[in-house]
Amino acid sequence: MSDFWADRRVTVTGGAGFLGSAVVRRLQAAGATQIFVPRSAKYDLRTRDGIARCLADGRPQVIIHLAAVVGGIGANRANPGRFFYENAIMGIELMEQARLAGVAKFVGVGTVCSYPKFTPVPFHEDDLWAGYPEETNAPYGLAKKMLLVQGQAYRDQYGFDAIHLLPVNLYGPGDNFDEASSHVIPALIKKCVDARDRGEDFIEVWGTGSASREFLFVDDAAEGIALAAELYDDPDPVNLGVGREITIRELVALTARLAGFSGEVRWDASKPDGQPRRALDTSRARDRFGFVAGTSFEEGLRRTIEWYSAKRASQR
């Protein structure tokens, strides 16, 4: 472990959130002692004033930008305008003000939703501009994708060290389990555990189960982000993932088994599946800054189920 983080002032936007908390823990383990986490109640990063106060108070040398307005398919369908505007304006203005303030490094964390709907599998970073994203989350994906363009433009014109990472779908303890905005894994875990505890004999799941997804354990994602912040200085975007996919149907079966739910699964084919397939080529992250995910999917899923079950039991 290097001493890169020991004396650096780091601002982690979204640092109190699911991924952000894991990143903060990872930086602390690496020796970081000057980590500033702006909270939205005090620093509204959708406004120039909020960003200015954030930079003045944190005085960062490194910014890891994780703050985002996010949700699953339902939330994306209900809030396309909000998801586009708030994610775009927050990132664009933050990067501009960071440049003007002399911040040494800007780590932009984008999304796999930026990829075209029909991307050859596994997704390679060179295919990022080969088509339009899947419609239900295109506004969010394109808003985050603009930060890649901005970072590359700022690198060319100003010599600004901005990098852009593309994590695949994340999961793990501490995830968002809210029914209105959760992603697929916490939504399925909640359905299975709640149905198990209530003695219900079926759960209902959106879509047909034919779509596939790749999932990255949150602590592995934090490791990749920290390594890239320390070691990567290039304009090319970089995938963060595990390089393996699972169909939603297989995911539901595995989640039900690990959660101890043995009832029926009813598929609502009137609801969208989302992007047909997602699996990343992860060779660039491995080759350029040595990142390889270390948590098996079954182990990560089991830990997430155990965390939610314990939380639910404590609330009862």
Q: Which residues are catalytic?
A: 140
308, 37, 313, 17: which is closest to 189 by C-alpha?
308
* Cβ-based neighbour number of residue 81 at 10 Å: 8
Residue 301 CA to residue 298 CA, distance in Å, equals 5
Q: Which two tokens stand for residue 155?
A: 């690198």
DSSP states of 133-175: BPGGGHHHHHHHHHHHHHHHHHHHHH---EEEEEE-EEE-TT-
Question: By C-alpha distance, which of 53, 151, 71, 141 is closest to 108?
Answer: 151
Residue 65 to residues 26, 144, 238: CA-CA distances in angstroms? 15, 11, 15
Look up tokens 């989302």; give the residue: 274
26 half-sphere exposure, CB direction, 13 A CA radius: 22
Burial class of residue 303, CB neighbours in 10 A (0-12, 13-18, 19+): middle
Cα(293)–Cα(282) distance, integer angstroms: 10
Query: Are the beta carbons of 17 and 168 closer than 8 angstroms?
Result: no
Find all residues with CB under 8 Å of 124, minimum gap 6, and list them.
239, 281
